[in-house]
């Protein structure tokens, strides 16, 4: 009885705190517009979306305005800092900016870039790392309260966290076809400028059921931007992704991993959490000063880790890119080996047990990866994999929830404890300052029984 009362009290407290925060955050995103139904998305069949010839795929096109109506004047200039084109002074952005209490922002200086293009870390205290600056120390746990910590690995053992940065790429049809044919879902970190230039590419991502996340508007070192510029980079990417896919991501990845507690704080005001990585293939370098052979060696090392016990207790999140045909070709070469070496190859939303990766999915908690239909007929029947939270034992009230594919059930009291444990695990694994509907469900079940 004491346990049930405690469970209910905790659930009430968390539900009230999380829900009130989420309502404030989500209300603004309701103003973003889209004609796309992300649960029933279909990519228009034009030569750019069906060809496997990059010279055809990458031809310019104008999207069907009845599906995706782009008004360029409402967005920053492509590949310029997102305050460009007068966007910092627009009514919508001014309203958003003024809704944030900037007096609570961390007093952390904007960083600079050296003449050689590297971040300037001169004078930074590496020992104490006061700003949890990832570029300096790979810190992922903020030093500040009320700032969302980064997700940097999959907790599920023997799991390869599949992520691709810098999309959508105009020549990704063959790559996406392969992922769909092999029922592989990835976390796709889309750049806002690319989404606006290649909206059908982004639409393909949500239609195929991938986990869509933000990778900023112009791919800058985020700690070198002012608070207003950071906000603009995140906001206008959200707006572009919403327009092209019908969803607004709760997750983002800082370019180069460059994030500190100031940038995290700004992202948290938008209800967003950073997803980093703990293994980097450096695949982008295969066409920029390195060689494919060097990248292939890195891939092989990571693949070997899948079978030698390195990930017996937890998994990884691996940084790879959709940036060009070289990186996508490397992915096609090594994905069969990755699948053979690892028990699970999953997007981050699935491996981290995130039931609500988008702001729009308040009533979509049973579907993590989307249900849209691809325009590729041969893979239309592909299904998605979902990892659900469950308790390892309801008899032992001190046990914690573990990520499994089944839920242990018992009597009515145990059912309430299971629900509460599921709620706790989802909150822990999501690393969010925002709620899950499962929290309400767990509370209600506990209350009833």
Pick from 300, 216, 208, 316: which is nearest to 257 by CA? 216
What's the CA gap between 319 and 52, in Å, rounded?
25
- Range of weakest confidence among 125-134, 224-233, 322-331, 410-419: 410-419
pLDDT value, residue 287: 78
Average the pLDDT over 96-117 and give the result.
Answer: 96
Cβ atoms 449, 416 nearer than 8 A: yes
Q: Is 121 helix (H, G, I), strand (E, B) or coil?
A: coil
Alpha-helical runs (H) found in 82-129 = 91-98
Cβ atoms 298, 281 nearer than 8 A: yes
Give the tens place of pLDDT for each residue, 233-261: 999 999 999 999 999 999 999 999 999 99
pLDDT value, residue 288: 72
pTM score of the predicted model: 0.79
Burial of 50 (0-12, 13-18, 19+ CB in 10 A): middle
Q: Above 70 in pLDDT, residue 291?
A: yes
Cβ atoms 301, 282 nearer than 8 A: no
What's the CA gap between 445 and 409, in Å, rounded?
13
What's the CA gap between 187 and 193, in Å, rounded?
18
How far lies 227's CA from each of 29, 101, 119, 319, 446, in Å? 19, 12, 18, 26, 42
Residue bearing the bigger pLDDT, 23 or 31: 31
pLDDT value, residue 25: 54
pLDDT value, residue 289: 66
Residue bearing the bigger pLDDT, 385 or 188: 188
What's the CA gap between 366 and 346, in Å, rounded?
17
pLDDT value, residue 405: 32
Cβ atoms 38, 245 nearer than 8 A: yes
pLDDT value, residue 387: 29
Q: Above 70 in pLDDT, residue 411?
A: no
Q: Which domains does the chain have, with CATH numbers?
A: 2-23+387-448 (no CATH), 31-46+102-379 (3.20.20.370)
Average the pLDDT over 72-97 and give the result.
Answer: 97
Average the pLDDT over 12-19 and give the result.
Answer: 41
Cβ atoms 10, 341 nearer than 8 A: no
Give the tens place of pLDDT for each residue, 366-389: 344 444 434 433 333 333 332 223
Catalytically active residues, by annotation: 165, 321
Average the pLDDT over 311-327 and give the result.
Answer: 97
Could you tell me which residues come within 8 angstroms of residue 396 by beta carbon, excluding any fewer than 6 positions away?
none
Count the Cβ atoms, other than its own, within 10 Å of residue 110.
Answer: 13
Q: Report which secondary-structure segment, H or E, holds 316.
A: strand 316-321
**Mean pLDDT score of the chain:** 82
pLDDT value, residue 29: 85
Give the max Cα distance, the chain: 68
Q: Above 60 in pLDDT, residue 362?
A: no
């Amino acid at each position: 009885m004491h346990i049930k009362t405690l469970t209910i009290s905790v659930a009430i407290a968390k539900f009230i705190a999380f829900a009130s925060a989420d309502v404030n955050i989500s209300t603004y995103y309701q103003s973003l517009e889209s004609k796309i139904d992300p649960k029933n998305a279909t990519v228009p069949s034009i030569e750019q979306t069906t060809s496997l010839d990059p010279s055809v795929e990458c031809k310019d096109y104008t999207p069907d305005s009845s599906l995706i109506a782009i008004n360029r004047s409402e967005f920053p200039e492509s590949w310029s800092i997102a305050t460009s084109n007068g966007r910092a002074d627009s009514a919508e952005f001014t309203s958003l900016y003024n809704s944030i209490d900037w007096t609570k922002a961390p007093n952390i200086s904007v960083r600079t870039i050296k003449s050689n293009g590297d971040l300037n870390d001169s004078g930074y205290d590496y020992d104490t790392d006061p700003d949890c600056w990832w570029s300096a120390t790979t810190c992922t746990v903020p030093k500040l309260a009320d700032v969302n910590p980064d997700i940097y690995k999959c907790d599920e053992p023997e799991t390869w966290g599949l992520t691709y940065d810098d999309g959508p790429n105009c020549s990704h049809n063959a790559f996406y076809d392969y992922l769909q044919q092999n029922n592989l879902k990835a976390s796709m970190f889309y750049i806002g400028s690319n989404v606006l230039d290649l909206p059908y590419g982004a639409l393909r991502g949500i239609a195929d059921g991938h986990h869509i996340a933000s990778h900023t508007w112009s791919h800058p070192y985020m700690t070198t931007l002012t608070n207003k510029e950071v906000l603009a980079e995140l906001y206008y990417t959200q707006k572009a992704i919403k327009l092209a896919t019908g969803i607004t991501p709760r997750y983002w990845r800082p370019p180069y991993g460059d994030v500190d507690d100031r940038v995290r704080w700004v992202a948290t005001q938008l209800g967003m959490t950073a997803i980093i990585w703990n293994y980097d293939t450096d695949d982008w370098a295969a066409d920029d000063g390195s060689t494919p052979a060097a990248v292939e060696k890195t891939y092989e090392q990571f693949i070997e880790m899948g079978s030698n016990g390195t990930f017996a207790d937890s998994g990884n999140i691996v940084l790879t890119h959709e940036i060009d045909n070289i990186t996508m070709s490397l992915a096609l070469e090594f994905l069969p080996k990755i699948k053979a070496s690892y028990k699970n190859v999953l997007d981050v939303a699935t491996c981290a047990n995130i039931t609500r990766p988008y702001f729009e999915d308040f009533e979509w908690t049973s579907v993590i990866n989307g249900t849209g239909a691809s325009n590729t007929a041969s893979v239309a029947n592909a299904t998605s994999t979902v990892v659900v939270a469950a308790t390892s034992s309801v008899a032992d009230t001190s046990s914690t929830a573990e990520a499994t594919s089944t839920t242990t059930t018992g009597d009515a009291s145990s059912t309430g404890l299971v629900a509460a444990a599921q709620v706790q695990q989802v909150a822990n694994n999501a690393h969010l300052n925002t709620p899950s509907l499962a929290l309400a469900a767990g509370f209600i079940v506990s209350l009833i029984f």
